[in-house]
Amino acid sequence: MSKHFVPENLPTHLQHYIGGQFVDSIGGETFEVLDPVTNQTYATAAAGQKADIDAAVNAATEAFKNGPWPTMSARARAKVLYKIADAVVAQEDRLAEMETFDTGLPITQARGQAQRAAENFRFFADLIVAQHDTALKVPGSQLNYVNRKPIGVAGLITPWNTPFMLESWKLAPSIASGCTVVLKPAEFTPLSASLWATIFKEAGLPDGVFNLVNGIGEEAGDALVKHPKVPLISFTGESSTGQLIFRNCAENLKGMSMELGGKSPAIVFADADFDAAIDSTLFGVFSLNGERCTAGSRILVERPIYEKFVETYAARAKNIKVGDPHDPTTQVGALVHPEHYNKVMGYVEIGKTEGRVVAGGGRPENLPEGQENGSYVAPTVFADVAPDARIFQEEIFGPVVAITPFDTDAEALELANNTKYGLAAYVWTNDLKRAHNFAQDVEAGMVWLNSHNVRDLRSPFGGVKASGLGHEGGYRSIDFYTDQQAVHITLGEVHTPKFGA
């Protein structure tokens, strides 16, 4: 497939969506959007400024204070959420083509995103209908119960890897809870976010509940974080940006939920199912082009199987098909943007001084015709990487992995915990006692034992250390977007000290 695929009816200009209307920036500002296969501009997008964020927040505030959404019954809101889910599934093919075109993700990996996004809306629809709140009674003395109330306007800032699906992670629980929202999607990948407006409108979501402002993080994102009428910020992205947002939220004491970077270890013990561990650790770092926060980008392997593991892993990595993201046989596509490509290639060069290159190490050969300038990186494997190496410590966010040997369980744990991050960890062993104890001791918000990253939507999602603040997923998401007000009623005689009597 040498001719570069372009989706039909591709928009050439992307607007904001505020108060139920598509609009340009008040000052007319725009930015260019690139296609990562050719690195050519294919569209412009309205670049939101403070004035545009003000307009969106005002629309969301009006919908929260005077609109029907926050006070509708859970069942009535759930009916709308189900219509949203059905509309997302109906758009699956279109969405996958747009997502692949905009992000460079392989089409087969983009296809599952619509189903997962739809499931988020169904899941939270079910959750709000089934939810019950605490009531505590002391017979004849006191009754206490909880009122759960949506907090207000939620500011949602989302990343450029699997953008549509990750937007659904925030949109579904915030809207289900009765909040109104302003979404600021990543500037590298605004295309699929433009689908939300029509999906929501046709599903019957009242105007002003969902607002979208495109723009650069330092402009639109910054204005949203600092806005005094936005009491909540949910952010997924890079850790240093998270620190900046944390500082800026302090002024107005905003609630924050942050899912940040990762440098997650995959620990493979000698007694592991070798073939399953190879399959999983390859998929864990090279799926989604390596652009995933939970990527198992450090593989720690027990010494007796280390050489065999490195040899097998490298041979498989060399065999991964890199190419046109729209080709169904492609396993690794183009990185999202030249800026990110340059960062990843910089780490590849650093790695050559810090480890032994056993696969990749540069651009792939035999790229499709017309895609020679695309942001392609060959799946790259470094072996014998020391724990103080930059490629061991720093998040690369691309198809690059570091493999390091260990001799004892204690050394494996020390290596696993030896970074500032703590998002995920993957443990491969058939020793049940070791698996559970290691999971308990590893510094990670999420651990997978003998499994790749498969997640139940009811379970908490989040990291420790520099990988995050707070948890989302299941009821924890609802907790973030709602206030829990305690109401106390006395059922018996009131015995109060009589001051001043």
pTM attached to this predicted model: 0.97
Average pLDDT in the 88-111 region? 96
Which residues, including other chains, have CB under 8 Å from residue 65's CB and lie 6 or more apart? none
pLDDT at 366: 87
**Rounded to 5 degrees, what are φ and ψ at 308?**
-60, -40
pLDDT at 339: 97
Catalytic residue among 259, 291, 302, 443: 259
Average pLDDT in the 254-283 region? 98
What is the pLDDT of the chain when averaged over all its residues?
97
Parallel, antiparallel, or unpaired: how do β-strands 13-14 and 180-184 relate? unpaired
Lowest mean pLDDT among 2-6, 211-215, 217-221, 316-320: 2-6
pLDDT at 467: 97
Share of the chain above pLDDT 90, in %: 96
* pLDDT band (50, 70, 90) for residue 4: confident
For 328-377, how does the pLDDT look when each residue is reduced to its tens digit (9 = 90+)?
999 999 999 999 999 999 999 999 999 999 999 999 988 988 899 999 99
pLDDT at 67: 98
Residues 372, 37: Cα–Cα separation, whole Å: 8
For 178-235, how does the pLDDT look when each residue is reduced to its tens digit (9 = 90+)?
999 999 999 999 999 999 999 999 999 999 999 999 999 999 999 999 999 999 999 9
Angle subtended at Cα 384 by Cα 338 and Cα 411, rounded to the nearest 5 degrees? 115
Q: Among 177, 180, 185, which residue's Cα sits nearest to residue 208?
A: 180
Check pLDDT > 60 for residue 2. Answer: no
Kind and range of the H or E run holding 247:
helix 239-250
DSSP 332: B
pLDDT at 3: 66
pLDDT at 370: 87
DSSP 281-321: HHHHHHGGGG--TT---EEEEEHHHHHHHHHHHHHHHHTS-
pLDDT at 8: 93
Which residues, including other chains, have CB under 8 Å from residue 470's CB and lie 6 or more apart? 256, 257, 258, 462, 476, 480
Average pLDDT in the 478-491 region? 97
> Is 365 part of the annotated catalytic residue set?
no
Residues 65, 73: Cα–Cα separation, whole Å: 16
Report the amino acid identity of residue 91.
Answer: Q
Residues 202, 80: Cα–Cα separation, whole Å: 10
pLDDT at 1: 42
Share of the chain above pLDDT 70, in %: 99
Tokens matching residue 148: 């759960």
The dihedral built from the CA positions of residue 92, 7, 104 and 319, taken in this order, carries a sign that is positive
